[in-house]
């Protein structure tokens, strides 16, 4: 299975990360994955999202 | 009059209204102190000396003619440098925007101007508001007036340091993960993040659209309540503004907490907290109970995902805003925020949307607990100020990551949009400790009144930082 490194992912978006950032980015990204876990403790499958789509403009008046 | 720079708006306003104190005299005093303190705390990015004195003279004339506008008339304030002033440079404390000029005032600037505020300048901040140390590579570190080897917190660190020291009578901050409450807690002042949509963000450079807020940073709770009355209200130009009437917040400051039900969440908000911070916060809760409040322990299960949802949302939105500059001129960002912008390119669209699902669940759980309690009380931060330049912080003898820990208790207020106030409740050594009051949506009056009740306990023992003596 194709698996991109953090560096490859950023480069594919036209971003050139600092070489000395790569190790930190990998570590931080892993920390975030750990914080997320598998979201088992929350009923997420049928949960709505906190975004609005208001027809006709920004405000209902 | 002596030590005018240490006085609050509520102390100064009656003197101005009764013409015992001229706005010109006050503005000169504040500017003098701000310039003297600049080499010590570095809180300003730009001074508006000439315009401030002209505006102070105008205020003086208006008041002399019987046109006193209210508590902030003739009061000199400096604001965070991500709030636009028409035809003035707003830098966001960045290199990239160092010459940026806006063609309009921010709505909050416009409203404060109408209320008769005298603007003395713009205050430093963490670059693009994307950090909590205010250790700025382009404008130098802002220093904590209580101990100039320590950070003032951020991102509104210039506001926190200036208000605590007296270089601005009060200020405004912006808050995306805690950036009003963090420097308020660390600098020992009052900071209010109002409900999302309560204060217009038009004319404020964004950090993360769905999490950003603007709010008062002041010496007292009454100063914050009065400032909120001025800056709150609907604005067509802000897509997130909510069209609800603005309350009279000052009138709600009775200090009466009899039968107030305080929610305490032990699992999240009192976990991994510095023991001195915890002790100070629990002492304040006990004092509220002695005045007739009650405590109820509450559970908010989705808080276990709050840190992740806050990080994914803020990182993604901030990186979307700066995506183009990250591609074309990354070397112009400070190293710390460049790293965060790179990190923000990594979450997928699914990650972002799941974070929004978590937010909605979190909102639902908070709504449910507010059926049982009036407010939640928690530490504002699990720690106190740490050394400038240190990315780790001491937490009960353990060295832990500063950023992740410092936003743990403030982030949920941004995710849910609920109003949250930080009030000072004591010290660890000579470093201030903050307590956070989180309330139901659009009930800032209730939140402020709990803060006001706590303020009456005088847990800060009238201590003030005295940086010029310390120097």
What is the rounded average pLDDT of the residues B335-340? 97
Nearest-by-CA chain A residue for B211: A50
Q: Tell me, what's the pLDDT at B471?
A: 39
CB B160 within 8 A of CB B133: no
CB nearest to A16's CB, from B236, B330, B347: B330
Q: Give the list of residues 6+ apart from residue A29 with CB closer than 8 angstroms, or none.
A: A6, B343, B346
Helices (H) and strands (E) in chain B, counts: 16, 15
Q: Tell me, what's the pLDDT at A48?
A: 83
Q: Which residues pair with B393 in a beta bridge?
A: B400
pLDDT exceeds cutoff 70 at B85: yes
B155 upstream amide cis, omega within 30 of 0: yes
Given an 8 Å threshold on Cβ–Cβ distance, is B210 in contact with A49? no
B130 pLDDT tier (thresholds 50, 70, 90): very high
Tell me the per-residue pLDDT of B307-334, one tens digit each, with 9 for 90 and over. 999 999 999 999 999 999 999 999 999 9
Tell me the per-residue pLDDT of B1-49, one tens digit each, with 9 for 90 and over. 789 999 999 999 999 999 999 999 999 999 999 999 999 999 999 999 9
Nearest-by-CA chain B residue for A14: B327
Which candidate in B8, B94, B179, B422 is catalytic?
A: B179
Look up B102 and say whether it is catalytic.
no
Which of B253, B281, B256, B261 lies closest to B185 in space, CA to CA? B281
CB B300 within 8 A of CB B265: yes
Which candidate in B7, B37, B80, B122 is catalytic?
A: B80
A1 pLDDT tier (thresholds 50, 70, 90): very low
> What does pLDDT average to over chain B?
97
The answer to whether the Cα torsion of B329, B331, B336, B338 is positive or negative is: positive
pLDDT exceeds cutoff 90 at B413: yes
Q: What is the ipTM of this complex?
A: 0.92
Tokens of B54: 């002209």
Task: Tell me the pairing of strands B294-297 and B261-264.
Answer: parallel
Given an 8 Å threshold on Cβ–Cβ distance, is A35 in contact with B302? no
Going from N- to C-terminal start, the domains of chain B cover: 4-470
Task: Tell me the pairing of strands B261-264 and B375-379.
Answer: parallel
Number of domains in chain A: 1
Helices (H) and strands (E) in chain A, counts: 2, 0
A41 CB neighbours in chain B (<8 A) are 301-302, 304-305
The answer to whether the Cα torsion of B107, B111, B112, B113 is positive or negative is: positive
Look up B88 and say whether it is catalytic.
no
B342 CB neighbours in chain A (<8 A) are 10, 15, 17, 21, 25
Look up B179 and say whether it is catalytic.
yes
What is the rounded average pLDDT of the residues B377-406? 95
Ordered alpha helix ranges (H), A13-61: 22-36
B468 pLDDT tier (thresholds 50, 70, 90): low
Q: Kindly list the strands in the beta sheet with B213-218, ordered across the sheet, starting from the edge strand earlier in the chain.
A: B171-175, B213-218, B190-193, B420-428, B431-438, B375-379, B261-264, B294-297
The CATH class for the domain spanning B4-470 reads alpha beta
Which tops the pLDDT comparison, A46 or B285?
B285
CB nearest to B343's CB, from A14, A29, A59: A29
CA distance B101 to B99: 6
What is the rounded average pLDDT of the residues B107-115? 98
CB B222 within 8 A of CB B452: yes
CB nearest to A9's CB, from B305, B346, B356: B346
Residue A10 in domain:
yes
Tell me the per-residue pLDDT of B156-177, one tens digit each, with 9 for 90 and over. 999 999 999 999 999 999 999 9
Ordered alpha helix ranges (H), B170-255: 181-187, 221-231
| Long-range contacts (CB closer than 8 Å, 24 or more residues apart) made by B248-254 | B248/B445, B249/B225, B249/B444, B249/B445, B249/B448, B250/B71, B250/B222, B250/B225, B250/B226, B252/B225, B252/B445, B252/B446, B252/B448, B252/B449, B253/B221, B253/B222, B253/B225, B253/B448, B253/B449, B253/B452, B254/B449, B254/B452
Q: Is the pTM of this model over 0.90?
A: yes
Q: Please return the burial class of A60, using the count of CB atoms within 10 Å of its CB with bins 0-12, 13-18 and 19+.
A: exposed
> What domain range includes position A29?
1-54
Interface of A to B at Cβ within 8 Å reads 6, 9-10, 13-18, 21, 24-25, 28-29, 31-32, 35-37, 39, 41-44, 47-51, 58-59, 61
Which tops the pLDDT comparison, A46 or B433?
B433
Tokens of B384: 């106190």
A55 pLDDT tier (thresholds 50, 70, 90): confident
Q: Tell me, what's the pLDDT at A2?
A: 57
Report how many Cβ contacts below 8 Å link chain A to chain B: 87
Residue A4 in domain:
yes
Percentage of chain B beyond pLDDT 70 is 99
3-state secondary structure of A51: coil
What is the rounded average pLDDT of the residues B151-158? 98
Tell me the per-residue pLDDT of B47-76, one tens digit each, with 9 for 90 and over. 999 999 999 999 999 999 999 999 999 999
> What does pLDDT average to over chain A?
86
pLDDT exceeds cutoff 70 at A59: yes
Q: Tell me, what's the pLDDT at B466?
A: 80
Place of tokens 């997130």: B240
């Amino acid at each position: 299975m194709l698996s991109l490194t953090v560096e490859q992912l950023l480069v594919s978006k036209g971003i050139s990360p600092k070489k000395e950032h790569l190790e930190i980015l990998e570590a931080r990204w892993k920390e975030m994955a750990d914080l997320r876990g598998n979201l088992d403790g929350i009923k997420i499958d049928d949960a709505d999202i906190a975004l609005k789509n208001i027809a006709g403009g920004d405000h209902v008046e | 009059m002596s030590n005018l720079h240490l006085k609050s708006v509520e102390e100064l306003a009656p003197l101005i209204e009764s013409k015992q104190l001229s706005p010109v005299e006050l503005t000169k005093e504040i500017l003098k102190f701000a310039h003297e303190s600049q080499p010590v705390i570095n809180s300003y990015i730009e001074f508006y000396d000439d315009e401030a004195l002209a505006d102070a003279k105008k205020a003086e004339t208006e008041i002399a003619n019987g046109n006193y506008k209210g508590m902030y008339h003739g009061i000199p304030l400096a604001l965070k440098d991500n709030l636009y002033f028409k035809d003035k440079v707003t830098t966001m404390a960045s290199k990239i925007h160092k010459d940026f000029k806006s063609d309009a005032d921010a709505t909050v600037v416009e409203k404060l101007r109408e209320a008769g505020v005298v603007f003395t300048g713009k205050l430093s901040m963490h670059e693009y508001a994307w950090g909590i140390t205010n250790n700025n590579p382009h404008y130098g570190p802002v220093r904590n007036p209580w101990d100039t080897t320590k950070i003032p917190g951020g991102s509104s660190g210039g506001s926190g340091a200036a208000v605590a020291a007296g270089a601005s009578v009060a200020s405004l901050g912006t808050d995306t993960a805690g950036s009003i409450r963090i420097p308020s807690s660390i600098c020992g002042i009052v900071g209010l993040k109002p409900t999302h949509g309560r204060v217009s963000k038009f004319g404020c450079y964004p950090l993360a659209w769905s999490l950003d807020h603007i709010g008062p940073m002041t010496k007292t709770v009454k100063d914050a309540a009065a400032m909120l009355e001025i800056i709150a209200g609907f604005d067509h130009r802000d897509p997130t503004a909510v069209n609800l009437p603005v309350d009279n917040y000052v009138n709600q400051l009775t200090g009466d907490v009899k039968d107030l039900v305080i929610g305490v969440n032990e699992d999240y908000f009192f976990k991994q907290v510095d023991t001195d911070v915890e002790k100070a916060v629990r002492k304040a809760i006990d004092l509220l109970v002695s005045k007739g409040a009650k405590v109820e322990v509450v559970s908010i299960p989705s808080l276990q995902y709050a840190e992740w949802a806050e990080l994914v949302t803020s990182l993604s939105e901030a990186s979307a805003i700066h995506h183009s500059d990250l591609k074309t001129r990354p070397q112009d960002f400070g190293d710390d925020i460049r790293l965060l912008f790179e990190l923000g390119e990594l979450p997928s669209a699914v990650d972002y949307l799941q974070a929004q699902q978590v937010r909605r669940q979190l909102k639902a759980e908070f709504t449910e607990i507010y059926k049982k309690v009036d407010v939640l009380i928690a530490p504002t931060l699990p720690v106190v100020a740490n050394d400038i330049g240190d990315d780790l912080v001491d937490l009960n003898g353990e060295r832990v990551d500063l950023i992740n820990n410092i936003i743990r208790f403030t982030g949920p207020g941004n995710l849910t949009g609920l109003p949250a106030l930080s009030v000072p409740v004591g010290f660890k050594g000579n470093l201030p400790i903050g307590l956070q009051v989180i309330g139901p949506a659009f009930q800032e009056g209730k939140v402020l009144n709990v803060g006001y009740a706590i303020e009456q306990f005088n847990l800060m023992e009238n201590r003030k930082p005295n940086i010029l003596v310390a120097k």
